[in-house]
Structure 1
Amino acid sequence: MNFIGRKTELEKLNDEYQRNGSFVVVYGRRRIGKTTLIKEFIKDKTAFYFLATEELETQSMKRLAGVIGRCTKNSLMKKAVFTDWLDLFQIIADYKPNEKKVLVIDEFPYLVKTNGAFPSILQNAWDEILKEHNVMLILSGSLIGMMNKYALSYDSPLYGRRTSQIRLNPLSFSELYEVQHISFEQAVMQYSITGGIPKYLELLIETDDLEKQIKKLILSKNGFLYEEPNFLLKSEFLSAVNYFSIIKTISDGNHKLNKIASMLSQDTSSLMPYLSVLMELGFVEKRIPITEKNPERSRKGLYFISDLFIRFWFHYVYPYKGELELDNMQIVLDEMNKDFVEKFVAFVYEDICKNIFQNLCMKSKIHFVCSRIGSYWLNDIDGNTEIDVMAIDHQNKQIFAGECKFHTKPVDAFVYFSLKNKVEQANEIKKSFPGYEIVYGLFSKSGFTQRMLDLAKENNKIILINEDELIF
């Protein structure tokens, strides 16, 4: 798989490379592409790349000495024995003193596991050796909890040393679709499972049938991703039982805090620390109606599984582990045939539409400056009001309200009239944004009827987006 996206992150790393005393922390969940990003950045630079592993500290020093020997073409380094990290860092600092060098310590938490004092050792090395000797230091790690604790938090000896940090997120749908050679529908279906995780995408073959690949990679007990959530969660937690239970409860359709607590027979107060950790790690997110002026204090928040692969796995793999252990995949395939598109893909499609809308705005194809983007829901007097995509443009005093339809038939005008009616009946929208002009949008994967096209031609406050292209 070729290097995709990450333009902002590469620009940030290159900006840091230009400054003196640059210390960057790069972190994010497993398979997110940290190492690929770093290797893309250092490919044309003098760089010492060291991948830490769970091994004895003496072995780690020996391997770093080997890295240094290869980079400096000093064969004696392979035979040398080191007992002090500072000696190794000094050799790096002394190499080509007038030339900028990059030192990468990948999977930094493994060194901390081996030696709890390593952050203090690295602090000393940075302050006394590396900082003033033309070295850019990059620390990277997949264990987000440990990266926060030992590289980013106030209590860490390294606190105050970093000049920048990059938390790597999944690739966006727009970034991927731009380079893929598959249909829009296929791309949406694929994204619904992989969630933009580079490693998962690398495992998929674009031309192969998606169901066939799901069976091979996810449903087979020998598949590469069959136990993936177990590895992800257990690598972060000593005991993953409570976290598993919370994710499973949310996966079953329980999104309100009191409902989640009730299903787990716990108080909401005892549940919050676990939810906070899951949100910090990027497994769960709290969504707030876009009309809320103080999202942090809002009681209207709903909890969702933000990692799309984990969401898929808990919905279609975890409940059927017994059958899958007996190589019975058909039960899962039957369940997917029932509701995968309607209840799973269609939900992900709403988030994809938000990304498409933002992308079109950034390219100035839509004259709308997004201050905030999300969704809206409220139990109004006359029924439930839900709006799939809602964005606010404070600069031009505009509200965008969008409806997403992942249907096989073209979207007709009645969808627009229904959306318009929902917005007009939602008094909270009017109260929250008095005087704001409403712009309506429809997203479709199958185009629009002639009636809808004619209506959009006559009204410049209607936006039609077919797949990822602006029609009107």
Structure 2
Amino acid sequence: MELAQLDMSEHDTKDFIDREAELELLEEAWRKGGFALVVVYGRRRVGKTRLLLEFAKGKRLLYYAAIEAPLEELREDFARAAKAQLGVPASGDPIDLLEWLASTGQRVLVVLDEFQYMVEADPSLPSRLQRSIDATLSGSGVFLAVCGSAVSFFERELLAYRSPLFGRSSLSLKLAPLGFPQVRRYLGGYPIEEAVLAYGVFGGTPAYLKMLDPSRSVLENLRSLLKPGSRFYEEAPNLLRQELREPRTYIGILAALASGERRPSQLASAAGVDARALPKYLAVLEELDIVARVARVGGRGSKLDFRDNYFRFWFAFAYRLRHLIEAGFAEEAVEHVEEGLPRYMGPVYESLVRELLPHLYRAGLVPVRPVEVGSWWSGKAEIDVVAREPGRATAFIEVKWRTVGGEEALEMLEELEAKASGSGLLSPENYYVLVVKRAEGRLRLPERRRLLQLSDVEAALSGASGRGSGPA
């Protein structure tokens, strides 16, 4: 029996934002033939469903998005979806349907989206699926993709060692927000400075980037988005309420982080959280790719930073200005944002430089292979970014989101070198790098000192190489 094929032409490719690497991994698994179990998961809005629908083009497909419902209602809903898409009566039990599809001998893609709801309604499903894989499905042409946004469910239950499905998946993909190289390609019409600003405000989550009108500046976009009821304004608190059991505690932690409290002890105090309980909350926020730890290179400890710039911006501005916004003073709120952006973008740019170190290394702009990456601090002294190839070389990097003249740059590099000399991190080769938004004036630097600006970042992303385009 020839199965019906769902027409995916309605899903426009232009709406698909740069998941080429993940798409190729899925295609590679498909080309191997035979049965496959693929797990795709990640926080809401990161593009899981869109990736799988892009992958489904040209393939026989059964796509089902589970609903949060009792088992009987869920099975009825599943049976209706299967009948509508495959053109044949179908069982409401997904295992029965998978085994029937296996018996047809055809290559077919089955996507079970929001899979956690199916397991919630039928806790026996993972163990029954495991038995079916071992007894029936493993010799079939069924390509089963289970997908969902309940990150803890996938990591702590479905993929965990104790899970019946442990070791059965051919591929597991956790989708995180896109990095700046992918965002830059999506925002190709923006000058580099505006693209970095957009990344600092919207982050790398595809659904948030789609809120941006690239024909208008970031500030012009914010004038229409910083309003009660807009998705941009409502998304952060809504997501935290949907994903977390104690949203108020997490909101307090994120607000404290946005205010500049980056070390765990300071963060706990500012957020009013017991320091002993803080690691539990931070682990959840890290799991959701909202925050990340920055290592102290050459020593113990870490500091916290935002992994997702949308949440960084929301808690730095929208949360703090919510009384103005909700009273209808959006224009005044945007004025506050405009005044605060230069300071706000400092940590964004610092984080971006850490992210792009592999590109800067390949371009020869930071000639240290970034094996260890983090920051360094001791007392009042701090170095924004440190990249180290143990036993060979270390790069000490200062990052400033502003225009810097030649003489000021020289003074900053001298101060950086002095801080580095007291860090205990010196290597046989040491490089001192100042990364600014824009460099002005004339300055000749020795080989071990580098002055980089945004145009160098742009060049590094395009594959160009050199020592930098600062004053010479």
Q: Secondary structure at the match of 1:450?
A: coil
Q: Alpha-carbon deviations, 1:84-133, whole Å to 9, x = none?
A: 332211222223x1x43322211111222333333333333333332221
The answer to which of 149-158 and 22-31 deviates more is 149-158
Letter in structure 2 aligned against 1:280: E
The alpha carbon displacement at 1:448 in A equals 4.0
Equivalent residue number for residue 414 of structure 1: 408
The TM-score normalised by the length of structure 1 is 0.85
- 8 Å Cα contact 1:372/1:393 also seen in 2: yes
- 8 Å Cα contact 1:32/1:169 also seen in 2: yes
Equivalent residue number for residue 24 of structure 1: 38
For the pair 1:94 / 2:103, whether they are aligned, the reply is yes
Alignment of 1:15-164 (within 5 A): 15-19=28-32, 20-69=34-83, 71-72=85-86, 74=87, 76-77=88-89, 82-95=91-104, 97=105, 99-164=106-171
Equivalent residue number for residue 4 of structure 2: none
- 8 Å Cα contact 2:36/2:143 also seen in 1: yes
Equivalent residue number for residue 400 of structure 2: 405
RMSD: 2.7
Q: Alpha-carbon deviations, 1:375-426, whole Å to 9, x = none?
A: 32222xxxx333233212348x12122233322x354243244234323443
The alpha carbon displacement at 1:275 in A equals 2.0
The answer to which of 52-61 and 128-137 deviates more is 52-61
The alignment covers a number of residue pairs equal to 445
The TM-score normalised by the length of structure 2 is 0.85
Equivalent residue number for residue 387 of structure 1: 383
* Inter-CA distance 367–100: structure 2 relative to 1 (3 Å threshold): farther
Alignment of 1:65-464 (within 5 A): 65-69=79-83, 71-72=85-86, 74=87, 76-77=88-89, 82-95=91-104, 97=105, 99-179=106-186, 180-217=188-225, 219-292=226-299, 298=300, 300-341=301-342, 343-362=343-362, 368-379=368-379, 384-394=380-390, 397-407=392-402, 409=403, 411-427=405-421, 429=423, 431-435=424-428, 437-451=429-443, 455-456=444-445, 459=447, 462=450, 464=452
The alpha carbon displacement at 1:443 in A equals 2.6
- 8 Å Cα contact 2:398/2:416 also seen in 1: no
Q: Distance in 2 between matches of 1:122 and 1:226?
A: 41
* Inter-CA distance 18–170: structure 2 relative to 1 (3 Å threshold): same
Q: Distance in 2 between matches of 1:280 and 1:326?
A: 35
Q: Secondary structure at the match of 2:292?
A: strand
Gapped runs of 5+ residues in structure 1? 293-297
* Inter-CA distance 235–266: structure 2 relative to 1 (3 Å threshold): closer
Q: Secondary structure at the match of 2:296?
A: coil
Q: Secondary structure at the match of 2:356?
A: helix
Q: Distance in 2 between matches of 1:359 and 1:12?
A: 22
Identity %: 27
* Inter-CA distance 465–249: structure 2 relative to 1 (3 Å threshold): closer
The alpha carbon displacement at 1:320 in A equals 3.1
Q: Distance in 1 between matches of 2:40 and 2:437?
A: 36
- 8 Å Cα contact 2:395/2:432 also seen in 1: yes
Equivalent residue number for residue 295 of structure 1: none
